[in-house]
Chain A
Amino acid sequence: MSSSARPDDFPIVVEGLTTAFGDHVIHRDLDLKVRRGEILGVVGGSGTGKSVLMRSIIGLQPVEHGNIEVLGEAIVGEHADDEIDIRSRWGVLFQGGALFSTLTVAENIEVPLREFYPEISPALRREIARYKVMLSGLPDEAADKYPSELSGGMKKRAGLARALAMDPELLFLDEPTAGLDPIGAAAFDKLTRELQETLGNTVFLITHDLDTLYEICDRVAVLADKRVIAVGTIPELLALDHPWIQEYFNGPRGRAASAARSRAKAMDKSADRGA
């Protein structure tokens, strides 16, 4: 877990990845390296294969060719149900939450713990589950509710709590703020950032939410033309003269998010001065 101890500073390395559904090629020769301890935002138009990329990295999607290494282990060529060890070191939040509908939120969180560490006593497991529920910003009573009794935003938080159950080194979030109201989305962003700062994990975050990109992402990877066309901070990306990137960040929504960001900064500064 400590940041400088490992020789590999790239927990996720994707090289020359090609994926396809039948004749329909999704990625061609895609390269991507994710740095340890960063929040990497992944953006791209609909259908550019952001989710497919995530699924490839976590080994759910068959790969035509290319190499994927996660935490130093090869993913390509492994069977989807193998490599138990590495699976205990990442947490995944799927788009819809993907909670087990027959289990309560607490039981959902206990599933990975029970699976990987059966020696943990039921009492401790239960405490951990409740703690993770709190950590993800859900009210305490949500622990004993079933997913069908939760709102969309609460499902996302519950999904995040399950993803965090094992204190993963790697956290994959697939559109965490999609479908949340602006206040809920901002709170979720803050939560992601806080957790990342507390736990020091690496976050792979797929999003369409420009506010999220401006607020919490250290770097942003842009998917277009079947590959990652650029990775960098938002100012770095804006310096590139790619039409899609320009349109994405300089469209009306992009400008609004950027303006909101600078307003917030200005307010922070004036608050500092006032104090």
Chain B
Amino acid sequence: MREWADFTIAESEDGTRNVVLSGPLVVSSVGQLDAALRGTDERFARIDLSQVEEVDTIGAWTVWRLARETGADITGASDKAQRLIAAIHRNELDEPDHAKGGAILSPEGLVASTGRAVIAYFDGMVKFLSFLGALISALATLIRHPGRMRWTSLVRQFDLVGVRALPIIGLMSFLVGIVIAQQGAVQLEQFGAEIYTINLTGRLSFRELGVLMTAIMVAGRSGSSFAAQLGTMKLTEEIDAMRTIGVSPMEALVVPRVLACTFMMMVLGFYAAILSIIGGAFISMYLLDIPFWTFLTRIQEVVPDHDLWVGLIKGPVFGLIIAMAGCYQGMQVEGNSEQVGLKTTIAVVQAIFAVIVLDAFFAVFFTEVGWG
């Protein structure tokens, strides 16, 4: 059991009131005592410490504060207590603690916070534009001086973003293909048109789902890791160190990631579409009795060439967006570790959102230009 510090209020002969403290006066025991005596209106003549067994700085602080608040003298203090109280006295805190923060829900506060949000929004736009500019100029420099390209780093990013994503994206796409074919078949059967399951699976995989699902997966896998990596490097001043050595972080860190992500999204999108069609073929074998190879041959006949191009154009654009969001947010990290988490989240959310908005735009655009 813990021992608590205790107090009694005693009236002395001359009519003054004294507080007698007892028990240990240490960090583990003063909590209740302080709660009971804090903010009291009473005036005491003396605070008697003669029955106190032990004291530490926190106990001494409590006594000192009580003495100041009630105008009491401290008596009966042991050597150690005297020493500790004297130490507090030396460092006396002059003004009482100032309250932190202002009103948040007042009308002024609302206007102010709206204003701040708008300013922050435009601030962010300017920053993003300058990031884009720096990226383009870094790319231009690298085109003029290809010798400065970090090939090792680029290949490593190809590996991280592309090759290592193959199993998970393959499995995901295979399952998505199964779902499209199975659900499509159920609906089309009602018209006796289940043979169109092949068209549905093939065209949807190439045009939309292959590349879109891949973009979401890459944003979660690589976009987040870009933001977290660069953010941590920013915190540990590695990026500043690179600058002082004369290595441009844009060239060394951002360009390889952006290039790798852009190129790999194209390849992965195509790969995902193929796996998705294989998934469709696989389920059609059982559900519709369409032989596996017949399914694949029919795909070649029913899927127009431009569907392939739609996927191959969208992929790199999505990859570029994901990599830029990740790298940009990573470079915005400042101050503390919480920022790394925050910026990583923002990077992924922004990337996926932008990808979906752009996908809607592409869908309309390609239909309008006759690639429907």
Q: Could you tell me which A residues sit within 8 Å of B by CB distance?
A: 1-2, 88, 101-102, 113, 116-117, 119-121, 123-124, 126-128, 130-132, 134-135, 140, 144, 146-148, 164, 166-167, 198-200
Contacts and interface: CB of A to CB of B under 8 A. Distances in A.
A120 B57 contact: no
Contacts of B26: 1, 167
Given A2-B54, A124-B34, A167-B58, A113 B65 contact: no
Contacts of B84: 198-199
Interface stretch (B85-93, B242-250, B277-285, B357-365): B85-93
A140 B35 CA distance: 25
Contact of B27 (A101, A117, A131): A117
Contacts of A148: 334-336
B336 A146 contact: yes
B338 interface: yes
Contact of A101 (B35, B93, B336): B336
A12 B321 CA distance: 57
B196 interface: no
A164 B336 CA distance: 23
Given A1-B54, A117-B27, A167-B58, A131 B335 contact: no
B214 interface: no
B65 A127 contact: yes
Nearest to A103: B336
Contacts of B80: 1-2, 200
Interface in B5-55: 26-28, 30-32, 34-35, 38, 54
B240 interface: no
Nearest to B92: A134
A147 B335 CA distance: 8
B164 interface: no
Nearest to A137: B91
A135 B38 CA distance: 23
Pick the 7 closest A-B CB pairs, nearest first. A101-B336, A119-B31, A167-B56, A134-B91, A102-B338, A148-B335, A120-B31
A131 B61 contact: yes
A131 B91 contact: yes
Q: How large is the interface on B (under 10, 10 to 19, 20 to 34, 35 or more residues)?
A: 20 to 34
A120 B93 contact: no
B58 A128 contact: yes
B335 to A, nearest CB: 4
B100 interface: yes
A119 B2 CA distance: 12
Q: Is the interface of B mostly helix, strand, loop or mixed?
A: helix
Contact of B31 (A121, A126, A199): A121
B62 A102 contact: no
A1 B27 CA distance: 12
Contacts of A199: 56-57, 84
Given A117-B28, A121-B34, A198-B83, 17 more contacts: A1-B56, A2-B54, A2-B80, A119-B35, A120-B30, A120-B34, A124-B31, A124-B38, A124-B62, A127-B61, A127-B97, A140-B93, A164-B57, A166-B27, A167-B56, A198-B87, A199-B84
Given A117-B27, A127-B97, A167-B27, A101 B337 contact: yes
B88 A131 contact: yes
Contacts of B32: 119
A131 B57 contact: yes
Contacts of B93: 127, 130-131, 134, 140
A144 to B, nearest CB: 7
Contacts of A120: 27, 30-31, 34
Nearest to A134: B91
Contacts of B27: 113, 116-117, 120, 166-167
B338 A101 contact: yes
B8 to A, nearest CB: 20
A272 B25 CA distance: 39
Contacts of A127: 61, 65, 93, 97
Interface in B60-99: 61-62, 65, 80, 83-84, 87-88, 91, 93, 97
Nearest to B80: A200
A148 B336 CA distance: 7
A103 to B, nearest CB: 9
A195 B54 CA distance: 18
A166 B84 CA distance: 15
Nearest to A144: B100
Nearest to B341: A102
Contacts of A1: 26, 54, 56, 80
10 contacts: A101-B338, A117-B28, A127-B65, A127-B97, A131-B61, A135-B91, A144-B100, A167-B26, A167-B56, A167-B58
Contacts of B35: 119, 121
A70 B102 CA distance: 46
B91 A102 contact: no
Nearest to A102: B338
B163 to A, nearest CB: 31
Contacts of B100: 144
Nearest to A128: B58
